[in-house]
Amino acid sequence: MSKIKSKILGDMPSEEFKKYGYQLIDWVADYLDNIESNPVLAQVKPGDIKSQLPKEAPRNNESFDEMIEDLNRIIMPGITHWNHPNFMAYFNSTSSGPGILGELLAAAINANGMVWKSNPSGTELEETVLHWFLDMIGLPQNYFGVVYDTASVSSMHAIAAAREHTGLDIRSKGLSGLPKLILYCTEHSHSSIDKGALTLGIGLDGIRKIPTDENFAMIPEKLADAIKGDRAKGSVPFCVVATIGTTSSTAVDPVEEIAKICEREKTWLHVDSAYAGVTAMLPEMKSYFKGMEKADSIVINPHKWLFVPVDFSILYTRKPEILKRAFSLTPEYLKTTEETAINYMDYGIQLGRRFRAIKFWFVLRYFGVEGLKERLGEHLRLAKLFAGWVDENPNFERLAPVYFGTICFRAIPNNILSENELNILNEKLLDSINKSGKLFLVHTKLNGKFTIRVVISGLRMEERHVKLAWEIINSELVKLISS
Ligand SMILES: *Cc1c(COP(=O)(O)O)cnc(C)c1O
């Protein structure tokens, strides 16, 4: 009796695990080999997937064969394929073989790195790969790194450290009764900065959007004026967020000049380079990152453009003791005696943390630094090529400089004149491109203009995909203006 019971309880038997494990590895390999046979953007309507799923969890166990069948039949048609080489929307992020295998191991080992001893290898591997990456992007080794899930969360922690840095003991007393704290960024900063400020009680009124120049970059003189004005009113300027590679147009705020102002004003400088930061690995890109080494904190997302599966965002800070002071609290059961070891729980709001370092370690070792640089270099080359096609074609107009792998443009066929008509036309164009299923793009608004964005950063993108994208855009435009 007890023998039978032990068979029913407990985990999937290892024979079965191996059988389906091998089957799923084959599934993944075939999926990636044939990725281009799928429509890039899921061609489904809201509710289509849910309506095919049971209303309740299964009462009794089901076979793995059925699960794989439902995966193929119900789930896969509702997938937007981020790994597809014609996924050129948002900031693309693609996974890679070594990254996928790293995720598999992280789930299998499932060590929760709250404190050093709850996952010593995880803690020390994280420290090690984050030090490697500092070298790779040319930052000094005095930065402390910590991995969070997303840039939004990394930046929220940076703003919390900036708040702690004021010395107003907000940690103990909270914000009430204090002068107003002010954070500075631009209208092109990522919405996660506003969300972080909201979360931390700064309030939307505590965020100043500094004016930008014709290339959408922060104007340092305007920042200096705003800080001065706020001080005169008795407010406390506590944090400046500069972006290297904004989300709309990949604009680059002049970090070196902004850093000088922050130094003078004793204000925390956070650099958001979630998307573009990985390109600091390339010598020809160094000029965009001038002054970054003066930042108090920096966020870079290897899950965006370094082929690490989501999620993997790095926050670096030169002042880890302040980040720690903002968050550390140690209940009795988590007290440790390993004084010299890092307990990552001290550097953020979460206690439990996944063993994320393993997938980054695999990606860095499998491709090597040179291999990663070559891949990024090719994306930058393809982006320049695409920008050239836009510039040469009188039916199109480029709307922002191309610094990285993103091209912002719109159609301007000569029979349409008003800005409003152009906006409507470009919106229609984008819609028909995405409905084709062959290419997926998103838009932004720049100076009120409906702007189409092409992002080239996928691991599987080759010149033929970029050519195909350009052909699709042109043929959809022809269809639209001749209809
Ligand atoms: C993508 C992006 C973010 C947000 O990244 P998540 O990891 O999705 O939170 C923040 N800032 C910039 C500049 C980005 O490009």
Q: What is the pLDDT of residues 303-353, one digit of tens each?
A: 999 999 999 999 999 999 999 999 988 777 777 777 789 999 999 999 999
Using most ligand atoms within 8 A of CB, pick from 156, 191, 195, 247 the residue to mutate for ligand 1. 247
The protein residue with its alpha carbon nearest to ligand 1, atom 4, reads 151
- Does residue 444 line the site of ligand 1, with CB under 6 A? no
Angle (CA) 393-398-401 rounded to 5° is: 135
- Does residue 189 line the site of ligand 1, with CB under 6 A? no
* Residues 231 and 224: beta-carbon distance below 8 Å: no
Of 9, 241, 277, the C-alpha closest to 145 is 277
Position 4 scores a pLDDT of 47
- Does residue 151 line the site of ligand 1, with CB under 6 A? yes
Phi, psi of 281 (to 5 degrees): -65, -20
Question: What residues pair up with 317 in beta bridges, in sequence order?
Answer: 144, 297
| Ligand 1 atom closest to residue 246's alpha carbon, by position in its atom list | 13
Pairing of β 268-272 and β 297-300 = parallel
| Ligand 1 atom closest to residue 247's alpha carbon, by position in its atom list | 15
Query: How far, in Å, CA of 482 to CA of 303, rounded?
Result: 41
Angle (CA) 207-209-212 rounded to 5° is: 165
Position 328 scores a pLDDT of 85
Nearby residues of 23 by Cβ (< 8 Å), 6 or more positions away: 68
Position 1 scores a pLDDT of 41
The protein residue with its alpha carbon nearest to ligand 1, atom 3, reads 151
Of 199, 183, 145, the C-alpha closest to 319 is 145
Tokens of 149: 């899930």
Tokens of 390: 């836009």
Distance in angstroms between the alpha carbons of the first and the last residue of the chain:
75
> Residue 256 corresponds to which amino acid?
E
In the three-class reduction of DSSP (H, G, I as helix; E, B as strand; rest coil), residue 333 is classed as helix
Angle (CA) 38-42-48 rounded to 5° is: 125
Using most ligand atoms within 8 A of CB, pick from 301, 310, 315, 453 the residue to mutate for ligand 1. 301
Position 338 scores a pLDDT of 72
The protein residue with its alpha carbon nearest to ligand 1, atom 14, reads 274
**Edge-to-edge strand list for the sheet holding 442-446:** 396-398, 406-411, 449-455, 442-446
- In this prediction, the residues of the chain whose per-residue pLDDT falls under 50 are 1-6
**E-strand spans in 244-287?**
268-272
Position 2 scores a pLDDT of 44
* Residues 399 and 423: beta-carbon distance below 8 Å: no
Distance 66 CA to ligand 1 centre (A): 37
Query: How far, in Å, CA of 9 to CA of 134, rounded?
Result: 47
**Edge-to-edge strand list for the sheet holding 313-317:** 144-148, 313-317, 297-300, 268-272, 236-243, 181-185, 207-209
Position 8 scores a pLDDT of 73
- What is the DSSP secondary structure assignment for residue 209, as one 8-state letter? E
Position 336 scores a pLDDT of 75
Position 7 scores a pLDDT of 56
Domains of the chain, earliest start first: 111-354 (3.40.640.10), 369-482 (3.90.1150.170)
- Does residue 164 line the site of ligand 1, with CB under 6 A? no
- Does residue 305 line the site of ligand 1, with CB under 6 A? no
- Does residue 118 line the site of ligand 1, with CB under 6 A? no
R_g of the chain computed on alpha carbons: 25
- Does residue 249 line the site of ligand 1, with CB under 6 A? no
Angle (CA) 352-357-360 rounded to 5° is: 145
Question: What residues pair up with 382 in beta bridges, in sequence order?
Answer: none
Tokens of 316: 């670096």
Where do we find the tokens 């792998």? 405
Distance 274 CA to ligand 1 centre (A): 5
In the three-class reduction of DSSP (H, G, I as helix; E, B as strand; rest coil), residue 70 is classed as helix
Using most ligand atoms within 8 A of CB, pick from 188, 190, 244, 457 the residue to mutate for ligand 1. 190
Query: How far, in Å, CA of 140 to CA of 332, rounded?
Result: 36
| Element (DSSP H or E) covering residue 443 | strand 442-446
Position 335 scores a pLDDT of 75
Position 334 scores a pLDDT of 72
Position 251 scores a pLDDT of 98
Of 316, 381, 326, the C-alpha closest to 349 is 326
Q: What is the per-residue burial (b if ≥16 Cβ within 10 Å, else e) of 172-190?
A: eeebeeeebbbbbbbebbb
- Does residue 92 line the site of ligand 1, with CB under 6 A? no
Any idea how long the chain is?
483
